[in-house]
Amino acid sequence: MSNCDLLITNVHVATMVPNGTPYGAVLDAAITIADGRVTWVGPAGQLPVPLRDAAGQTVDGGGGWITPGLIDCHTHLVFGGDRAHEFEMRLAGASYEEIARAGGGIVSTVAATREASDDDLYRVASDRLREMIEQGVTTVEIKSGYGLDVETEMRMLAVARRLGDAMPVTVSTTLLGAHALPVEFADDRAGYIALVAEQMIPRAAAAGLADAVDAFCEGIGFTSDECRTVFEAAGRHELPVRLHADQLSDLGGAALAAGFGARSADHLEYTSREGARAMAAAGTTAVLLPGAYHFLQEPTKPPVEAFREAGVRLAVASDYNPGSSPVGSPLVTLNLACVLFGLTPEEALAGMTRNAAPVLGLDGEAGVLTEGARADMVLWDVQRPAELCYWLGRNPCRTVVQDGAVVHST
C-alpha cells in the first residue's frame, strides 16, 4: 500500500467506471501508480499519507483531466502504398467497379503490401502508430488482410508484433485472411477458404502471431457459410473470433457472430433488431466505425437505438485503412461517432476505453482507472471530458502514461 512509483495530483479523473456520475468522474483527484498498476484513485484530500510520502515521482496535472488510455480496437494499420489516386477518381465520378477494373481497390493494396519488405511495412506503420500514441492511444488492434497469401499474412502479423515490442503501446493482432478473394483464387472460392482455415489459421496459431481471427461477411466479401468455416477453424485452435458484419447489407452477420460467441461484430450499418438482440444475449460488442461510414458516404447508419435498447456494449474505433477509412486520429473518430451516429460524448469515450477493452480480451484490465487496473492513462489539457469529442483538428494530449511510465509528453 505504501509503494508509489508515480503520483499525479491537481487533476480531475474520468475513471470510466460506472459509479452514478458522468464519466465516473472524480474531481480534484489524485492517482498513484506502482509496478505498472493503479494503486489508488480518489479525492486528493483523501490520499493516504504513506502513499504521498512514498512517491518516487510527482506530476502536477495543472487542473487538467485524466482518462484511461484510448483503445483503438479495429485498425488495418500495416499495409503498403495508399489509395489517394482512387480518392481522386471517386470524386471525379468513377464507380467502385470502374476503379477495380483499372487495377484499384483492395487488389492494389494487396499488390503493394506483398511487394513491400518487412522493414518498409514496419517503418510506415510505426509512423502511423506514433501519431496515434501522441493522441492518447495506449492499446491498438492491428489486422492482417492485405496479403491474402500465407506468407504475406504471416509477415503482416509479425510486423504488428514487432510494433508492439518496439513501441510504447500494447498491440493486439488479428488474422483477417478472409478479407477478400485474391485474384489467383478468383475461380476457386472454396480453395481459398480452405487455405485460410487449413493453413493460415494453424500457422498463425502455432507461431503465436494472432490473438484473434476475423472475417468479412458481405456480398463483396464472404458468405455466412464461408465465414462459419473460418470460425470453426479458429475454434479448433482456441482463437477468439470477430466479424466485419452487415456493413453494406444485412446478411445476418450480427447473429452469425453472436452464434459463435464473437468478441465483436463491427460496422453493423444494416444490422436488424433481431441481430442486436442476439449480440446482447451473447455478450458480443458492437464496434462502430464512423470513419468508414463518413468516407464511403454510406446512406444507412448503424441502429444505435436498437443496440441501446437491447443492452449491447458500444465500442468505437478508427478502422484505419487505405481504402475506406484513412483516419489516423482517434479524436476525429470520437467526434464522428457523436456527430454522425448520435452517441453522447460519454458513450463515445466509453467506446474507446471501457467498452473497447473486452473486444481485445482486456475487460477490467484496461479502459478504466481503478485500483489494480493497468496504469495506461492520458492527461488532457481540457476543462471537461466532452472536449475530446468536440474539437476537430486540435490535440489537447499533454502526457501519455503506458504501463506506469510516461511515454509521451508535450
Domain 70-360, second-level architecture: Alpha-Beta Barrel (3.20)
The per-residue pLDDT for range 292-311, each reduced to its tens digit, is: 999 989 999 999 999 999 99
Confidence of residue 3 (pLDDT cuts 50, 70, 90): confident
Q: Is the pLDDT of residue 262 over 70?
A: yes
Confidence of residue 63 (pLDDT cuts 50, 70, 90): very high
Mean pLDDT of 240-251: 96
Domain definitions of the chain by residue range? 4-68+369-409, 70-360
pLDDT at position 224 = 97
Mean pLDDT of 335-361: 98
The per-residue pLDDT for range 146-191, each reduced to its tens digit, is: 999 999 999 999 999 999 999 999 999 999 999 999 999 999 999 9
Q: Is the pLDDT of residue 265 over 70?
A: yes
DSSP 208: T
pLDDT at position 19 = 87
The CATH number fitting domain 4-68+369-409, selected from 3.30.465.10, 2.30.40.10, 3.30.160.110, 3.30.360.10: 2.30.40.10
The per-residue pLDDT for range 83-137, each reduced to its tens digit, is: 999 999 989 988 766 777 677 888 899 999 999 999 999 999 999 999 999 999 9
With pLDDT > 90 as the criterion, what percentage of the chain qualifies?
Answer: 91
- The b-or-e profile of 356-393 (16+ CB within 10 A means b, else e) is bbbbbebbebbbbbeeebbbbbbbbbbeebbbbbbeee
Residue 116 one-letter amino acid:
A
Alpha helices in 168-268 (DSSP H): 189-195, 201-207, 224-236, 253-259
Confidence of residue 1 (pLDDT cuts 50, 70, 90): low
Sign of the torsion angle spanned by Cα atoms 289, 295, 296, 298: positive
> What integer best gives the mean pLDDT of the chain?
96
Of the candidates 267, 268, 265, the one whose C-alpha atom is nearest the C-alpha of residue 282 is: 265
